[in-house]
Amino acid sequence: MDSGNADYHIQREVIDEQRLKERSQRMDRSQTNLSISHRLKKSLSCSVPKLKHSIVGFLPVLSWLPRYSIWDYGMPDLISGISVGIMHLPQGMAYALLASLPPVFGLYTSLYPPLIYFIFGTSRHISIDADFLIYNGTNVTEEVDIISRDLYRVQVAAATTVLGGLIQVVLGLVQFGFVGTYLSEPLVRGYTTAASLHAVVAQLKYILGVSPKRFNGPLSIVYTLADLVMLLPETHLPTLLASVVSIVVLITAKELNNALRQKLLVPIPVELCTIVVATVISFYTRLNESYKISVVGEIPSGLQPPRVPNASVFSEVVLDAFAIAIVGYAISISLGKTFALKHGYKVESNQMAGVVSGVIVLVTVLKLGSLFQELPKAVLAAIVFVNLKGMFKQYYDVVTLWRSSKVDLLIWLVTYVSTVLFNLDMGLGASMGFALLSVIFRTQRPSYSLLGHLPGTELYLDMETHKEVREVPGITIFRSSATMYFANAELYLEALKKKSGLDIGKMLTYKRRQEAKQRRRERRAERRARREAKRQKKAFREASQRSKNAVFTVEDETGQLRDGMNGDIHRELSCRERENNTVFVIPETARTSDGHHTWVYLKGTDPDTATLGSVSDLHDGDTTTLDSSSEDTLSRDLERVSLGSLGKWTWDIHSIILDFSTANFTDTVAIKTLRNIFHDFGEIDVDIYLAGCQALVVEQLERGGFFSDVITEGRVFATVHDAVLYCLKHQGSVTIHSYENALVYLNGNKCKKHPDRDGG
């Protein structure tokens, strides 16, 4: 459907929050939320469907295995399992070497996890095996017994693995899996890229054939690289040659494999072919004896009985275990969701490929392990190095993120640097902390905008980024891109003042000063009135006394009367001068025969000082003739000039609408800030309204005591357009009539200029 040709017409009343509740019949919280006792009773109740759902949820294999179709999935799973099992053999031994463990333990990690995931796993495409994130070992700086050293390393690795699994189980029981949502893709990619660098550094000693010291803790990779540089003159050239040849062969074969993957039924097992060829060459040329090239050594046949790991090691590896548990979960769930989205299923089923690969590894451990005893360790190191090529490509994320998101780039860089310098455990903690701080910072520093009306619609858009939107006269529409809460409430208020151009603090200070001056004028006027009353009373008594004792001529009495009237006029004008500190009305000439004066308007705090500026229609020295007998005319003119003397403290904004459509929650600090906004702007006669509030936000406002007799639900509107129409109607018929074409009928007419507020 072409949206450009679609239109709609709706005629309805202006809806505020109270009217919206009435029309929609919104239910109270008590009606929608169950009581604690009811929820507890429901959670503790038991039924056959609920029991079945719980068992199937705990053992997903019971859900998908009865529905598994051998005809549809048997052959693909068999081929996939063989391919994955063949890949697990060299990778398992290589990653065991990376963790400083005997290679056979890499085969163990490729055997047991797929079988366990077969029962408890929920993804059809994930295969669990050894991973390079398991990077453990001891700090060996002197000669020790090789067997004791390897045994202790196995204890450390086993303790770390078991503890990591227990941490994942506990986090799953307490529903703590949401922590994985804080591991964003830039964080995970930066973390795995840094981990790959640790893996490369760990393999350099096998590639170069040297024995550097092992370092643990922060900056261990720096110390290791420095030691390797010092040992470069001691590089074992036969080992280096074997490593370089293996790397070249692996890269070439993998590239050919990728180029021909469309024509191949299954990928060529490049790693397996490499270790087979390398083992045959090493066995017949006796590389270990003739050229001192280090080989894998004895690989015991059969499975060793399981034993409980040494619990005393747990305290030393708890941070490593936590890092492995969290990152392993994040990577697994992200990969599982990626495949589920791609193939159109939920992450709740598994296939048989993991079992097939486990069987292949089991056969190798039981019967074929001894065949790889002459495999050079340099070949396994080359396999690890080449398999990390995909991780090396993640350095291109820097360019991609620079173009798309600077914040995500900063998260990637901080994660990478902290993981490289502080190792995997502390690096993960630092990167997660920084990622959370970036979220807080972005919500604390959102973008603020003023909205204008798009003619012909009910839409309101940012006026800075849209040319065709028009400001609604007399109304400011303010919107924040984030929720207002305790961390940005003060910034929200400051941005509102700045965008609206109303400095409430200064305006209120000015208003209070003017009110104080007015009270002082009134008190002075009362005192003058009392003194004048006393003077007149005294003058009356004296006049009465004189009338008894003296006789005046008509001319004398007339002169005294004239002098008294002139004195009264002078006192009246003097009173007006003192009562109005911005306007002075002074007679320029004496009263004419027809009873008129010529009056002079002066502007300023003193008749002889500076003027108030251009806010008044009268300029310095302007004169006009008023009928002094017309008190109404003089009073109106004085009032007009006094209002003009307010200057910059006059404004044409009568309403401010706060667009809360982006808010998804609110807190006590935000509610208090909103109350202050309503109160402070109300002090300067500017009405505040809310628009677009979600039901949850309105509910939180109610619980927070936001609404009162002054701030009612009538101040909250369903949309910004409802609020605008109400404001225009509330200001009077002239205002709404001047803008009704653009807003009410939505016919797209250009907005007309808003008339003076006092006039409409």
Is the alpha carbon torsion for 242, 89, 132, 399 positive or negative?
Answer: positive
Q: What's residue 86's pLDDT? A: 73
Indicate if 387 and 399 belong to the same structural domain: yes
Question: Over the chain (760 residues), what is each successive 10-residue block's mean pLDDT?
Answer: 62 84 76 69 76 80 80 78 75 78 82 81 62 44 61 87 86 70 82 88 91 86 93 93 94 88 79 89 90 85 81 85 78 61 49 75 79 88 87 91 93 94 84 89 88 91 92 93 91 91 78 83 88 84 68 46 50 42 41 45 39 36 37 39 39 89 92 93 90 92 91 93 91 50 41 36
DSSP string, 362-389: HHIIIIIGGGGTT-BHHHHHHHHHHHTH
Give the residues across from 461 on adjacent strands: 452
Quickly count helices (H) and strands (E) in the chain: 28, 9
Q: What's residue 666's pLDDT? A: 92
Q: Is residue 38 part of a domain?
A: no
Indicate if 655 and 602 belong to the same structural domain: no
Indicate if 730 and 614 belong to the same structural domain: no
Evaluate whether 616 touches 645 at the Cβ level (below 8 Å).
yes
Q: Is residue 420 part of a domain?
A: yes
740 by Cβ neighbours in 10 Å (0-12 / 13-18 / 19+) ranks as middle
Indicate if 607 and 701 belong to the same structural domain: no
Distance in Å from the first CA to the final CA of the chain? 45
Of 408, 427, 442, the one marking the end of a domain is 442
Indicate if 701 and 633 belong to the same structural domain: no
Q: What's residue 732's pLDDT? A: 63
CATH number of the domain where residue 702 is located: 3.30.750.24
Domain range spanning residue 201?
Answer: 61-442
Q: What's residue 155's pLDDT? A: 87
What's the pTM?
0.68
Q: Is residue 450 part of a domain?
A: yes
The three-point CA angle 199-201-204 to 5° equals: 110
The one-character DSSP state at 548 is H
Q: Quick one: tokens of 424?
A: 């995997």
Q: Is residue 560 part of a domain?
A: yes
**In this predicted model, what pLDDT tens digit does every residue of 407-426 receive, in sequence order?**
999 999 999 999 999 887 78
Of 399, 422, 442, the one marking the end of a domain is 442
**In this predicted model, what pLDDT tens digit does every residue of 292-317 receive, in sequence order?**
898 888 888 778 788 888 888 888 88
Evaluate whether 130 touches 95 at the Cβ level (below 8 Å).
yes
Indicate if 75 and 196 belong to the same structural domain: yes
The three-point CA angle 510-514-520 to 5° equals: 145
Distance CA 29, CA 39 (A): 15
Indicate if 626 and 656 belong to the same structural domain: no
**Percent of the chain scored above 70 by pLDDT?**
73
The one-character DSSP state at 583 is E
Q: Is residue 7 part of a domain?
A: no
Q: Is residue 55 part of a domain?
A: no
Q: Is residue 615 part of a domain?
A: yes
Q: What's residue 29's pLDDT? A: 66
Indicate if 436 and 465 belong to the same structural domain: no
Evaluate whether 641 touches 603 at the Cβ level (below 8 Å).
yes
Indicate if 269 and 359 belong to the same structural domain: yes
Indicate if 203 and 284 belong to the same structural domain: yes
State the total domains in the chain.
3
Q: Is residue 54 part of a domain?
A: no
If phi > 0 it is left, if psi is from -120 to 50 it is alpha, else beta; for residue 292 that is left
Evaluate whether 121 touches 400 at the Cβ level (below 8 Å).
no
Evaluate whether 96 touches 109 at the Cβ level (below 8 Å).
yes
Cα dihedral 213→214→217→223 (10° resolution)? 40
